[in-house]
Structure 1
Amino acid sequence: METRSLSSSHHRTSPYKVGVPPKQKLWKEFSATLRETFFSDDPLRSFKDQPSSRKLILGIQAVFPIFEWGRSYTLAKFKGDLIAGLTIASLCIPQDIGYAKLANLAPQYGLYSSFVPPLVYAFMGSSRDIAIGPVAVVSLLLGTLLQNEIDPTENAYEYRRLAFTATFFAGVTQATLGILRLGFLIDFLSHAAIVGFMGGAAITIALQQLKGFLGIVNFTKNTDIISVMQSVVSSAHHGWNLPTIFIGSTFLVFLLVAKYIGKKNKKFFWVAAIAPLISVILSTFFVYITHAEKKGVQIVKHIEKGLNRPSVSELYFSGDYVLKGARIGVVAGIIALTEAVAIGRTFATMKDYQIDGNKEMVALGAMNIAGSMTSCYVATGSFSRSAVNFMAGCQTAISNIVMSIVVLLALLFITPLFKYTPNAILSSIIISAVIGLIDYDAAILIWKIDKFDFIACMGAFFGVVFASVEIGLLIAIVISFAKLLLQVTRPRTALLGKIPRTNVYRNIQQYPEATKVPGVLIIRVDSAIYFSNSNYIRERILRWLADEEEQLKADGLPQVQVLIVEMSPVTDIDTSGIHALEELHRSLERKSIELVLANPGPVVMDKLYASKLANLIGEDKIFLTVADAVQTCVPKFTDEV
């Protein structure tokens, strides 16, 4: 029974002819490609066949999603959002004061940035879980780039104006990417590069906190590890303050223990969330009753009370600082966008809902534009706060509104209470927060999966740690693009063999038991064939052929008579690719070797016929499968069992 089925499987039948797609009209083909590239989600689908009044409502809901999901909002959802909002507010207030210092701005600007931007995002964003506000990496990046242009101590007003200008251009960049549906551009920064950049930035941020943690007055403005450690060591004898070290180390241990408890048992997430605020309250009270500020403990001093001031008039729209603000804003905006989109996608996957990437970009851009006009600096989604928001049971973006209201109340009533807050506690809070950005597991996984990715990861990491944030970012981008170019220009090819007792042909490196067909060389091309790689693919196929012929000659076996190119992975081909196949065909003709193509896709088939290459090779030399090609070109082989 088995013998009959096996012989019937080898029964010669006419191979199924490869389909040639009908020729499309130029405009239809162009519009389909354009729609798939920029409008794959078909944003106008819901507007079709709708009356004008309905289209207006749908348009408002598209820009402000809160008017869509808000109709089904319930008291039960509000309870979850209220608890989550209060929890993240207790975390964000001390963090914001510390992050503002990272950006070389007065503490109130960190609080401002957790008031206006979250309100705007709540109305325009599509993520239910993301918590908006200043973050450590963007604050450090902004502070580093800004202080290269203006000294924040000697020219505080101009520095602040440039910060608002950079925030404005960060928002414009984000909104433009969303409106033009160019969000795919941020995907060019690979995951590995982001892991390395974030880890390096976390270490750099932690090192910067040694100034406040140790009570050092004269500290380097450079961010690289060598400069920082030199500054720390040189000030060891006379610059360190023991009461400051005591306060900082005590509460750092407390914060890390609270974080461990929250991580170990998800029910106690709130312990880690409120630990920073408790630390601020206790340390402030301790400094106040002991007058530790008189013993050299540096304190926050004055935090301006009241609402955000309008800052439209402070933005640079002319002069030398416009281009500088735009350059800094574009960099900060893209990094902030990358972080926010990554957070949004992560939590959306965990809760099994979809976020609209382009809407997210527009929402983030709008909130930063509004923020730049209300004394805020660049805000985005925060990893730590979003995780707390998620674990606290948030249901919608209303949790951001609750957080904003709490921050507003803090600005109106309690900012004077932070006067005696020691800088050491802010440093401890930042150190405990950024430790989570160092993802050891991700780095180990990257090493196991892709060594080139690991090089990108480590390049970004060491660039940030040993040079600067912008150098590390530049290295991350360069290596990411280098990997992309390498994959495009040097695609993989594989030698195929027949799996025993089947008609399946697979890579002989992956399946050592696969056997070569006598007189036939089967090569698979694992990429589209474009101008960037067409010559390489042609030369690589000829090298495969030369190596095979040399081996056959050495073994005294018949030479190759047929070369089959398996083209199922070839999704597209351009003029250069067609030309490369023509040259390959001519080279093989001179060697009396037939060129056969197997399983070209519809786009490739269309171009083979349009270029007349199908006629040159011969329509009878294009097959649906490798098995069909072998069966037709080498009939003797198909008779063997």
Structure 2
Amino acid sequence: MDRPLQGEQSSRRCCSYSTLKSWLPILSWLPKYRVRYLQMDLLAGLTVGLTTVPQALAYAEVAGLPVQYGLYSAFMGGFIYTLLGTSKDVTLGPTAIMSLLCFSVVGGQPHRAVLLSLLCGVIQAAMALLRLGFLLDFISYPVIKGFTCAAAVTIGFGQVKNILGIRDVPHQFFLEVYDTFHKIPEARVGDVVLGLVCLALLITLMFIKSHPGSDHGSSLYSRFTRKLVWAVATMRNALVVVAATLVAFSWDAFGHHVFTITGHTTQGLPPFSPPPTSDTTSNGTVVSFREIIEDFGGGLAVIPLMGLLESIAIAKAFASQNNYRIDANQELLAIGMTNIMGSFVSAYPITGSFGRTAVNSQTGVCTPAGGIVTSVIVLLSLAFLMPAFYYIPKASLAAVIICAVAPMVDYRVVIKMWKMHRLDLLPFGVTFLLSFWEVQYGIIGGVAVSGALLLYAMARPKMKVSDHGALVIELSSGLSFPAVEHLSHFIHTQALQTCPPRSVVLDCHHVSIIDFTVISELTDLLRQFKLRKVKLVFSGLQPAVLKVLLAADLQGFRYTDSVEEALQMDSASD
């Protein structure tokens, strides 16, 4: 009779309102929504929206896609995250890093980019449902920093050709560097001048925002001036792109084609349809779904993981800053569902944006509903402003991208690693250098090196040795099967192969786990000690480890609570 009752209680818990709230966080904050929240969410959403539009257009260039695909990727996140997200600050959309990763996998093919979004979303949502977020813990901080620094250099230098107005530059980094310098004589004066002016304006506005000046003035005029300067500096990307577009349109209207412009873009909202599961090459050959997956290769693992890592890191940072908590697995679900639904509106893979999230937070957003306002602005741009995007100079978009990624080149982290733990420079360096060859190889290589260092630390635990008549060997970390051969060799050389042989006290108070391989080697060690008529005594065993050793029924097994008792036992036997 108990089992049906237990099953009924379990089903009730699964269908309870609290469970529903855990899957739909909007049910937690929407009943508490206030009118004053609406004012702040509208302001934040508008500000972020004016930042999102020019960035989305620019990041589509990084992904090698027509600029409208940046906007296609920028609006679904606001709607989905409002329902499923647990951070009030995070904004989802195209980013420089995800755009670069997308280009490295699909090579600027729109149909494949959209299919990649679907597959990434399915993987991310599955990870959330299976609670596999812990896998992100295996990507170490040096690997992340090595990747972001290399990505920033790759993305930034990749825009130099647009500043110079040169064409037909290959995308492979080293060839790109060579061709860019080789074709400098072909640079267009108009693009160079406009690009440098845009860069100067953006840098100036960035400096103004980061150094707002004194807040001592309390008059209405002073407060209004500070807010106006802050608004202009925050919306600098939109303002600079609009100004550059007006300049390009003016010159073009008088018949002077001195700038390289974006050109024709598809107007209107994207059709809502499932992404294509096959592709057709230029010569008419049909590429099957299986062949596309094979072409994606390791990128199909790297892109979902990096998308999750970037978004969760941003969410945690702003949650800590603003005194609230997030649910990491729910964040995985939100970004996964955004990528899945985004693929139905021709979006490529997206993640959380640090820059736009910072703007959202600084503007005072109160709930995730601010993302809806941002999404509406993007949709309005798609519906009504696409003809105006024809005249956007590529040099202005390049300036926006360069200024966005420049802060990611964090040289100070190298100095910190050198001072604190120099071995971390190895995975950092491997990731950084390999990323210039292929981005996914850099991440995979860095993770492999970090894993090798971790395994080496497990296989070679540090041991502190002291002589108290008997040798006392203190293990400074856990004892698992990779380390047992090293420990056995050390004991043989230090105690059993000396003349005369010496007793050993093994201080195990740091050892929390033990496995069958260790027990097998300990059996042989105890036999060797018995043959040489000396003792191996264990001290400080934790209850769980002691239980396993007693269950193994080792012959000659001796243990004490402390090293002192073990030394007294050895002295008494002598």
Q: TM-score, normalised by structure 2?
A: 0.88
Could you say which residue in structure 1 is the equivalent of 2:177?
229
Is 2:275–2:346's contact at 8 Å kept on the other side of the alignment?
no
Cα pair distance change 1:623/1:105, threshold 3 Å: same
Could you say which residue in structure 2 is the equivalent of 1:617?
557
Q: In 2, distance between residues paired with 1:485 and 1:388?
A: 41
- What is the RMSD of the two structures over their aligned residues, measured on CA atoms? 2.6
Cα pair distance change 1:595/1:56, threshold 3 Å: same
Tell me the amino acid that sits aligned with residue 528 of structure 1: G
Is 1:131–1:400's contact at 8 Å kept on the other side of the alignment?
yes
Match of 1:169 among 116, 119, 126: 119
Q: In 2, distance between residues paired with 1:523 and 1:79?
A: 66
Could you say which residue in structure 1 is the equivalent of 2:142?
192
Tell me the amino acid that sits aligned with residue 527 of structure 2: R
Cα pair distance change 1:202/1:293, threshold 3 Å: farther
Worse-superposed segment, 586-595 or 400-409: 586-595
Q: In 2, distance between residues paired with 1:250 and 1:522?
A: 70
Match of 2:547 among 599, 602, 606: 606
Deviation (angstroms), 1:561: 4.6
Q: In 2, distance between residues paired with 1:397 and 1:545?
A: 65
Could you say which residue in structure 2 is the equivalent of 1:504?
none
Q: In 2, distance between residues paired with 1:296 and 1:265?
A: 36
Could you say which residue in structure 1 is the equivalent of 2:245?
284
Q: In 1, distance between residues paired with 2:140 and 2:154?
A: 21
SS at match of 2:480: coil
Match of 2:317 among 323, 343, 346: 346
Q: Deviations over 1:430-454 (max 9, x none)?
A: 0000012122232322222222211
Could you say which residue in structure 2 is the equivalent of 1:115?
75
Map 1:343-492 → 2, pairs under 5 A: 343-465=314-436, 467-492=437-462
Tell me the amino acid that sits aligned with residue 232 of structure 1: T
Q: Deviations over 1:550-583 (max 9, x none)?
A: xxx9xxxxx7754221112211000001112222
Number of aligned residue pairs: 543
Cα pair distance change 1:313/1:199, threshold 3 Å: closer
Q: In 2, distance between residues paired with 1:376 and 1:104?
A: 13
The percentage of counterpart residues that share the same residue type is 29
Q: TM-score, normalised by structure 1?
A: 0.80
Could you say which residue in structure 2 is the equivalent of 1:310?
272
SS at match of 1:178: helix
Is 1:90–1:274's contact at 8 Å kept on the other side of the alignment?
yes
Is 1:578–1:608's contact at 8 Å kept on the other side of the alignment?
yes
Match of 1:595 among 533, 536, 561: 536
Q: Deviations over 1:111-141 (max 9, x none)?
A: 1111112211221122222111001011011
Tell me the amino acid that sits aligned with residue 428 of structure 1: A
Q: In 1, distance between residues paired with 2:324 and 2:8?
A: 24
Unaligned runs of 5+ in 1: 1-46, 153-158, 496-515, 554-558, 637-641
Matched, 1:576 2:501: no
Match of 2:463 among 489, 493, 507: 493
Could you say which residue in structure 1 is the equivalent of 2:98?
138
Map 1:196-215 → 2, pairs under 5 A: 196-215=146-165
Q: In 2, distance between residues paired with 1:325 and 1:561?
A: 60
Is 2:125–2:333's contact at 8 Å kept on the other side of the alignment?
yes
Unaligned runs of 5+ in 2: 1-6, 214-225, 279-287
Is 2:115–2:275's contact at 8 Å kept on the other side of the alignment?
no
SS at match of 2:472: strand
Q: Deviations over 1:585-636 (max 9, x none)?
A: 23333443321212112221111111013x6313xxx222334434554579
Q: In 2, distance between residues paired with 1:265 and 1:171?
A: 40
SS at match of 1:524: strand
Q: Deviations over 1:60-102 (max 9, x none)?
A: 2122111112221222333332222222212111110010111
Deviation (angstroms), 1:55: 3.6
Q: Deviations over 1:174-222 (max 9, x none)?
A: 1111111111112111111110011001000011101211101121121
Q: In 2, distance between residues paired with 1:609 and 1:269?
A: 69
SS at match of 2:271: coil
Worse-superposed segment, 356-365 or 345-354: 345-354
Tell me the amino acid that sits aligned with residue 280 of structure 1: V
Matched, 1:255 2:202: yes
Tell me the amino acid that sits aligned with residue 183 of structure 2: S
Deviation (angstroms), 1:327: 5.1
Deviation (angstroms), 1:265: 4.0
Matched, 1:72 2:32: yes
Deviation (angstroms), 1:278: 0.7
SS at match of 1:600: coil
Could you say which residue in structure 1 is the equivalent of 2:469?
519
